[in-house]
Structure 1
Amino acid sequence: MKAKKEEDIKTYGSKDFRDKFLESENTVEHFFKSNSEHFFCLRIEDINQLKYPVPPSKHICYTLLFITSGIHKLKIGFEEYTTKANEMVLVPAGQIYSIDFMSKKITGIICQFHQDILIGKYGNREMLNDFDFLKVWGNPNVTFQKQEAGFISNLLNRLLIEYTETGGTNLDIIQPYLIALLFEINKNAVKTNKSLTAATTLTTKFKELIYLHIKTQHQVSYYASVLNVTPNHLNKSVKSVTGKSPTKWIDETILLEAKYLLYQTNLTINEIAIQVGHYDQSYFSRIFKKHEGVTPIEYRKMIDKS
C-alpha cells in the first residue's frame, strides 16, 4: 500500500511542488480567510503580490471585489468578467473561479463573508434569497453611478476599518453594515426578469440542480425527473437558451470540478475521479482527455511545470 501511494505521487505530479503551493502565503486561500473564517475585508492593492493567473479556486464564503481604479479579469465557472472603476464582481459561495489578470495599479476593496454572519440580531439566512447577484445563475457584475459608487465605497471602508481593528469579531457593527451594503448593491444590480420564458426558467432551475448534485448525478434523465419534464423537453429548453445541451453542461461542470481538484489538492487521479462521481478511473481519464485533449495525469504535470 505504501509503495502504491508513493507511485501515485510520482505519477500524478510533484507532491513537493503542490505542498509548497498549498502552504504558501502566496496562495489565494491565504487571503480569503479571516480568523473567524466568516468575514474579512482588505484593500485589493494590499494583496496584489499574488501571482497571476490564479488557478481554479473556490470557497464556502461569498466574495465581492469593488474596483476603484484599474482592471480586473475574473472567470466564474465558464464565464469571464472584466471589472473596472465603479464596478463590482461577486463570486457565489462554492462556485469555482479563477483570476486571469489584475493590473498592477489596481485599487479597490475585497470583502468576503459566510452566510452565517447574516444570522442574528439584524438579519437571517433567508435574506440571501433577495439578492439575485449572489445566485449561481445571477449576473455577478454590478455597475454603479458616481453617487452610488460613493455609498458603496463608504460602506466598504467602514467594514475595512472594523476588520482592521477587531479582526472581524464585532458582529454588532459588521452585520448591519454588511446588510446595508447588500441592499445598496441590490438597487443597482440587474434584476431577474419576472416575465422570463418557460424555457429560461427551466434552464435556471437546471443550472442550480447540477451545481448541487454534480458529484453524484450525471444523467439528464435524473434532472428531468426532478424538474417534472421529459429529457427531450429539458434538452430542447436548455439548448435554446444557452446554445449547449444539458449533457454538455453536465460534462463541463464535472471537468471544472476535476481541474480545481487537480490543482488545489494532492488527491490522486483515482480519488479525484471518485470525488466527481466516476468510480472507474480509466473511464474518467478518457472523458477528461476527450474534452481537454490531455489526460488528468498530463494536465497535472502541465500545472506543475508552469
Structure 2
Amino acid sequence: MNNNIEKIEDFYKHKFNSLPLTFENELGHFNVFKRGTTKIKSIKFGRRDFFKISLLKGKMKIHYSEKTIQSDKYVLLISDPLVPYSWETLEENLGGYYCIFSKDFFFDSMDIRKYPLFKLDAKKAFILTEQNVLEIENIYERMFKEIESTYIYKYDVLRNLVLELIHYTMRLDPKFLSNKSADTNINITTKFNEILQRQFPIESPYQRVELKAPSDFSSILNIHTNHLNKTLKSTTGKTTSQIIANRFAQEAIALLKHTSWTISDIAYALKFEETSHFISFFKKHFKQTPKKFRDSIK
C-alpha cells in the first residue's frame, strides 16, 4: 500500500506541470476534466487530500478500502480523501469525465459528509446503464459550460452541480434511504442554508443584508437559537455563528475581487456598523486587511 497522500498541488504538477493561475487566491478549489479515448495508466492504491467524482468508460478493476469491483463498460467512482483507492485498466481505450474539488470548496455552509455516500463504509463505485451515462454526462457538460462562463457567481452554480451529481449517485443505490431520525435536522439545516444564501449575491452598495445574527435565523425558522446551533453542529460540525461568518467572508472576497466599491461600502452592505469592525473581521479570517487583499489581486 502506498501511504503517501497525494495533494491537489501534486495532482496538477504531475498532470500539467503547473498550478492553475487562480489557485493561490481561491477559498476552495474546483475543476472539471474530460478523458480522451486514449490509453490511461492504472492508478496506484492510496489516498488523495481532495474529492474526485469520475465517470469511467471501459473495462477496469477498481479497488477501494478492502473492496474490489470490476466494470466492463461504465462506472461512477466517488474518491474520498478518507478512503484509499486505485484502479487497473483492462483495456487500452478508456474515456469519461471527472471533477475534483477541495474540502473547502463548499466552505462551512455545507458539509457533504452529512450524506451517507461519504461515510467510511459506504459504497464508492456504481455500475451504470447507458441512460445513467447520458444523464451524468449532461451534468459534466453543464459544469464545463459554467466554468468557462464569465458569470461572477459561477462557483455557486458549480457547487449546485456537484450536489446534483452527488444526489444522482445516491439515488443509484437503494441503501441510501431516508433516515427519519436525521430528517428533521437535515430539513432545518437545508432551510437555514436557503435563508442564508438568499441574501446573496449583493448587487449594489445600497443593498444591505438583513439577517446576520443567529437569532435572526432562528426567529424565521421558529425555533430556539440554541436548538438551531445544536442542529447545525450535528449536521455540519460548525456553529451557527461560524457558518454565517464564513458565508459573509466569502461574499466579502467576491465583492473585493469583482467590484470597485470602497471598503466602507462593502462593510455597510455586509451589515457592519463600523468599517473598522469589518476590517477586523476580514483580518481574522484571511490574516490580511481588505485593502491588502484587493491590492494583491490587481
**Shorter-normalised TM range:** 0.3 to 0.5
Structure with the higher fraction of residues in helix conformation: 1
Normalising by structure 2, report the TM-score: 0.46
The one of the two structures with greater contact order (alpha-carbon pairs below 8 A, sep at least 6) is 1
